[in-house]
Amino acid sequence: MSKKSKPQKPPLKLDLGAGRNPQPGFTSVDLFAPGVDVKLDLKKFPWPWKDDSVDEIHCAHFVEHLEASIRPRFFEECWRIMKPEAIMRVVTPSHKSERAFGDQSHCWPPVVAMFYLYLNKNWREANKLNYGYYDLKCNFDHQAGPTDISPDFATRNHEVQMFALRHYHETYSDMWAVLTKRPM
C-alpha cells in the first residue's frame, strides 16, 4: 500500500512594491497600484506573512522610496519572512544617474552597493556596528552590480567599462542586488 503524499503548495514568491509592472509568477504587493494581489503598506510592520514562509522576493524601484530610517526595518522584515537560503532581487536607480535624483519621491540617501554590507551580520560585527541603529535583526550575503550600461560604453572592453563605472556619471541607470538569507 502506498502512502498518499500531501499536495505541495506552490512556492510563495512576492513582488514587493510591484506597482503597475508586476513580476510574472509572483504575488504582487503594493499599497497604491490598481490590480495588485495584495494591498499592503510595506512601511508598517509586521507584515502578514509567517516567519520563514517566502521562497523568493523581487523588489524593483521601491527601496529608494523608503526613508533611510525605514530601510533597515524593511530588510529585517524581508529576512524574517524569507525561508533559509531564499533570495531577494532588488533593483534601484544608480546613485550615479540622474534617474536617482529626478524622481522627487525618492528618499535620501540614494541606495548604493555598500548599503547591503550593513545587512550582513559578520560585516557589522567585524566593524563593531552591532548597537543602536546598527543592531539589525537580519543577515544577508549579497552581490550587486550595474544594469543598463550606457551605449557609449556597452561595446567597450571590460577594463574601460569598469573605469567608467567607477569614475563617470550616467554610465549606468540602475543597480541590481541579489540578497541571500543567512542564519543569525
Task: Quick: pLDDT tens for 6-20.
Answer: 778 899 999 999 999
User: Mean pLDDT throughout 32-61?
Assistant: 98
Whole-number average pLDDT of the chain: 94
pTM across the whole model: 0.91
Q: Any idea where the domains of the chain sit in the sequence?
A: 13-181
User: Mean pLDDT throughout 113-134?
Assistant: 95
> What CATH code is assigned to 13-181?
3.40.50.150
User: Mean pLDDT throughout 123-144?
Assistant: 96
pLDDT at 38 over 60: yes
Per-residue pLDDT, 1: 53
Q: Of all residues in the chain, what percent are helix, strand and coil, respectively (each to 5)?
A: 25, 25, 45
Residue-wise pLDDT tens digits, 73-113: 999 999 999 999 999 999 999 998 898 999 999 999 999 99
- Which set of grid coordinates corresponds to residue 175? 543597480
Distant-in-sequence, close-in-space partners of 60: CB < 8 Å, separation ≥ 6: 15, 17, 21, 23, 89, 90, 91
CB 18 within 8 A of CB 38: no
What's phi and psi for 116, nearest 5 deg?
-70, -20
pLDDT at 143 over 70: yes
User: Mean pLDDT throughout 131-156?
Assistant: 92
pLDDT at 184 over 70: yes
- Residues 41, 45, 46: CA angle, nearest 5 degrees: 115
Per-residue pLDDT, 9: 85
Per-residue pLDDT, 2: 56
